[in-house]
Amino acid sequence: MKLNLFVMLFALVYCINYSVAQQDSVKMVVAKNADVDSSGIDPKAQEAYNEGISAFESKKYDQAISNFEKALSIAPDFKKAQKNLAYTYLSAGKNEKAAKAFEKLTSDEEIAHLAYFELAVLATKRDSLDQAIGYYSKAIEANPAESKYHHQRGIQYFKKEDYESAVKDFTKGLAINTTSAEMYNDRGSAFRKMEKLDRAEADYKKAIANDPRFVVAYNNLGSTLREAGQHDRAIKTFNKAIAIDGDFHLALNNRGYAFFESGDYKSALKDFMKVTQLEPSYASAYNNLAAVYLKMKDYDKVVDYATKAINKNEQLGSAYYNRAAAYEMLRKLDKACEDWSNASAYGVSVADRYYGQTGCANLIEK
């Protein structure tokens, strides 16, 4: 019979009191059915806990927090309440409190890996990649058989541009979960970043084999082929992504890029135009329309579309660059200089050179 700690403690205390009072000894007998309530937790705490869950389910997180906190004030070791409180903090967006609550839970061996996982998630949200990696490492230590932890740590390494470590983690994760299309995709991308395009291609294909409707992997495979200069294959791959999801604007945009690089400006324009219809706020598509028109030497249209792109994303360096190139050809050098300056500020390094070559400093300062 399982007797919980509470019952035993209670019995002990009771016995002592009783014996002292009565000057004799009597054994506490526990009925066989006494383990029906195994929690040993004060019902008031349990009631507060249950009310907390009701509030949580109604998304009344503040009330739920108050209930769980009340439960814990009555029964501080009420594990379920501790856990629920931590998740409620999380749901309420009180991430700092959630982090503290999960830190407490890491002392419980049974759920330590879950707590570390949540701490890692919170670190990721703070963009603290190193912290996230640290927590995922602890989660892996506590539960090495969970492929998700390897996958997620790999993602953090990827974000840190430590692609070798990322590949190692993805590979471990895939050894546990051999059919994860997402992990194959992510490892493919890591290989792509390492310029191992053959291996990238192979992984993207495995991702697709495991999930034949995985448009993201098709898109990535298409882009890999485009970068390798295999425009025809790239276009065919993008076609497949678009056949699955005709509204997948990234694949349309990338196919447009592939058309552009293969010299088919008309098809490129068509794709980019479609993207602007699907995603009217997607600045890159307007920029790409501007880029095609720049190649076609239709400078007025370049200005038009690049301006639209900038209106949607005022930090889109390439749009400033393309518009500057058009302004130069329209012989509006003051505007070109201003745009090159902005393009340079937003990461287009070549714009800085053109700014200098055009003698912009003189033009503007005078």
Partner 1 sequence: MKKIIVLAILCFSVSALAQKEVVFDKKNFKDNKKAYKEAEDYLEEADELMIPNPFPRYAQALELYKKANDFNDKSSHVNFQLGLCYMNTAEKFKSLEYFEKSFKLNPNKHVDIHYYLGRGHHLKSEWDEAIQHYEAHKKRLNAKEQLQDMMKVNKLIFECKSGKELVKDPTRVWIDNMGGMINSEYPEYGMIMTADASEIYFTSRRPSTLGGGKDLMIDQYFEDVYTSNKFEGNSWIKAKNIGDPVNTKGHDAAVALSPDGSKMIVYIDDKGDGNLYESVREGNEWSKPKKFDEPINSDYHEASAWYTSDGKRIFFISERPLEKRGNPKDRDIYVAEWDAEEEEWIDPQRLPEEVNTKYDEDGIYVHPDGKTIYFSSKGHNTMGGYDVFKSVLQEDGSWSKAENMGYPINTPDDDVFFLVAANGRDAYMTSYREDGFGDKDLYKVTLLGDEKEPILMAEDLLLANAEAPSSAVVIEPKVEVKDQLAILKGIVRDDKTKEPLKANIELVDNETNEVVAEFTSDAKTGRFLVSLPGGKNYGIAVKAEGYLFHSENFNVKQNEAYKEVEKNVDLKKVDVGQSIVLRNIFFDLNKYTLRDESEKELMRLTKLLNDNPSLKIEISGHTDSRGSAAYNKELSKNRAKAVVDYLVGKGISKDRLEYAGYGEEQPINSDAEISKLKRRAEIEDAHQENRRTEFKILEN
Q: How far is the CB of 167 from partner 1 (least distance, A)?
A: 13
Tell me which residues in 188-227 interact with partner 1 (CB under 8 A).
189, 192-193, 214, 216-217, 219-220, 223, 226
Q: How far is the CB of 186 from partner 1 (least distance, A)?
A: 5
> CA-to-CA distance for 249 and 281, rounded, in angstroms?
11
Q: Which of 92, 89, 60, 91 is nearest to 103 (CA)?
A: 89
> CA-to-CA distance for 2 and 136, rounded, in angstroms?
35
Q: CA 14 → CA 4, 8, 26, 28, 40, distances in Å?
A: 16, 10, 11, 8, 15
Q: Total binding residues for partner 1 by CB under 8 A?
A: 90
Site string for partner 1, 254-293 (x = CB under 8 A): x--x--x-----------------------x--xx-xxx-
Q: Which of 105, 269, 294, 303 binds partner 1 (CB under 8 A)?
A: 294
Q: Which of 67, 106, 152, 237 binds partner 1 (CB under 8 A)?
A: 152
Tell me which residues in 299-328 interact with partner 1 (CB under 8 A).
316, 318, 321-322, 325, 328
**Residue 80 or 233: which CB sits closer to partner 1?**
80
Question: Residue 140: left (phi > 0), alpha (psi -120 to 50), or beta?
Answer: alpha
Phi first, then psi: give them for residue 93, nearest 5 degrees.
80, 15
> CA-to-CA distance for 208 and 211, rounded, in angstroms?
5
Tell me which residues in 85-124 interact with partner 1 (CB under 8 A).
87-88, 90-91, 114, 117-118, 121, 124
Per the CB < 8 A criterion, the answer to whether 227 and 197 are in contact is: yes
Tell me which residues in 326-365 interact with partner 1 (CB under 8 A).
328, 331, 348, 354, 357-359
Per the CB < 8 A criterion, the answer to whether 244 and 252 are in contact is: no
Phi first, then psi: give them for residue 139, nearest 5 degrees.
-60, -40
Please tell me whether residue 168 binds partner 1 under the rule CB under 8 A. Answer: no
Cβ-proximal residues to 8 (8 Å cutoff; 6+ apart), any chain: none
Please tell me whether residue 1 binds partner 1 under the rule CB under 8 A. Answer: no
Tell me which residues in 3-42 interact with partner 1 (CB under 8 A).
7, 10-11, 14-15, 18, 22, 24-34, 36-37, 39, 41-42
**Residue 243 or 329: which CB sits closer to partner 1?**
329
